[in-house]
Amino acid sequence: MQHKNIVILGTGGTIAGKAASASDNIGYTAAQVGVTQLVAAIPALAAAGHLLVEQVAQIDSKDMTFAVWAHLAERVHYFLARDDVQGVVITHGTDTLEETAYFLQTVLDPAKPVVLTCAMRPATSLVPDGPQNVMDALAVAGHAGARGVTAVCAGVVHSALDVQKVHSYQLDAFSSGDAGPVAYVEEGALRVLRDWPLGQQKRGLHAIELVALLVEAAAGGTWPRVEIVMNYAGASGAVVDALCHAGVQGLVVAATGNGTLHHDLEAALLRAQSQSVSIVRATRCVNGRVLSKPGEALADSRGLSPVKARIALMLRLMLSGSQA
Ligand code: SIN
């Protein structure tokens, strides 16, 4: 049987990290090993004839930029449009993986699978977790019925909407929170636990037009400025006021509990909103979502975490600007 190609795009991360000693799992430098070398080091893949491999970036994902996101979206879109491509796997750092996953899902809403994977230990580790994660990601990308953007780590498949890094060290570092994972990967086979997540796009632009807009905005430095502020004991409005003064276009507030805000912070956010700064209220709780009550003055994030709500708001502002 003729296999379609699976594309592996490298962006860096711990999965491509190097330490001076094989017993050092934390004192490494991320993004050192090329994706071609990573793939070549996995014996089961070395001989596989249906892999296309490309280095899109080589960064520690804490340093993710809009330019890398725009370039990545462009490459993923290019490969998915090819008839000979079954799906795309992206090797990525764990630290902002959930943001890239949500970004790609929102921009591309792909009918084919796009699977982000990663590692918590560097490639030089005595027992690295990256190779198995790549194998699992390929199993997901090759699975009939898989679609949209997912993340695979430690044998667990998470949807882009739900995935969140919840552990700073353990190999199984991600959670899907209340929603639960989409599937488990067991020896190359998927045990699917729930319906494959569908896109929820309602936008006027096709993916190709949106990607072009993102590339242009990244090159021109015109991505809307959206920052995240947090509610906490003793919070004030000072940060919000300073950000408004600096020209911020949108603010996501990581509120306490069910969207609650210190009255001083809330007053500053309402002031900002009255000056045309877009405000979205998310919760800083790891699980659950803000359940809005009638008459709330600040919009809620519709279940998105603060970092994903920020991406949604940036894209919304960018689209409203482009259509103005
Ligand atoms: C990164 O996010 O690039 C470094 C940390 C990791 O991949 O675990």
Confidence band (pLDDT; 50, 70, 90) for 199?
low
Q: Is residue 217 part of a domain?
A: no
Query: Which among 192, 217, 237 is the end of a domain?
Result: 192
pLDDT value at 240 more than 50:
yes
pLDDT value at 117 more than 70:
yes
Instruction: Say if ligand 1 is within 6 A of residue 94 CB.
Output: yes
Structural domain harbouring 90: 5-192
* Same structural domain, 160 and 58: yes
Distance CA 142, CA 188 (A): 10
Q: Is residue 171 part of a domain?
A: yes
Instruction: Say if ligand 1 is within 6 A of residue 117 CB.
Output: no
> Can you tell me which atom of ligand 1 is nearest the CA of 120?
8
* Same structural domain, 173 and 280: no
User: Ligand 1 centre from 29 Cα, in Å?
Assistant: 9
Instruction: Say if ligand 1 is within 6 A of residue 129 CB.
Output: no
Q: What does the pLDDT average to over 39-61?
A: 91
Distance CA 231, CA 235 (A): 6
Query: Which among 140, 169, 192 is the end of a domain?
Result: 192
User: Ligand 1 centre from 120 Cα, in Å?
Assistant: 7
The residues, ordered by sequence, that sit 6+ positions from 117 with a Cβ below 8 Å of its Cβ are 15, 89, 90, 91, 92, 130, 133, 134, 136, 137, 151, 152, 153
* Same structural domain, 38 and 146: yes
* Same structural domain, 104 and 247: no
Q: Is residue 197 part of a domain?
A: no
Residue % of the chain over a pLDDT of 90: 91
* Same structural domain, 27 and 78: yes
User: Ligand 1 centre from 140 Cα, in Å?
Assistant: 21
Confidence band (pLDDT; 50, 70, 90) for 177?
very high
Instruction: Say if ligand 1 is within 6 A of residue 97 CB.
Output: no
64, 72, 90, 94: which to mutate for ligand 1, most atoms within 8 A of CB? 94
**CATH number reported for the structural domain that contains residue 313 in this entry:** 3.40.50.40
Q: Is residue 213 part of a domain?
A: no
Instruction: Say if ligand 1 is within 6 A of residue 62 CB.
Output: yes
Say which range, 106-115, 154-163, 200-209, 305-314, has the weakest mean pLDDT: 200-209
Instruction: Say if ligand 1 is within 6 A of residue 95 CB.
Output: yes
User: Ligand 1 centre from 88 Cα, in Å?
Assistant: 20
Q: Is residue 163 part of a domain?
A: yes
Among all residues, which ones are annotated catalytic? 14
pLDDT value at 204 more than 90:
no
Q: What is the pLDDT of residue 324?
A: 43
Domains: count for the chain: 2
Q: What is the pLDDT of residue 254?
A: 98
Instruction: Say if ligand 1 is within 6 A of residue 265 CB.
Output: no
User: Ligand 1 centre from 44 Cα, in Å?
Assistant: 24
Give the pLDDT confidence of 287-309 residue by residue, as tens digits.
Answer: 999 999 999 999 999 999 999 99
pTM of the model: 0.97
Q: Is residue 220 part of a domain?
A: no
> Can you tell me which atom of ligand 1 is nearest the CA of 31?
3
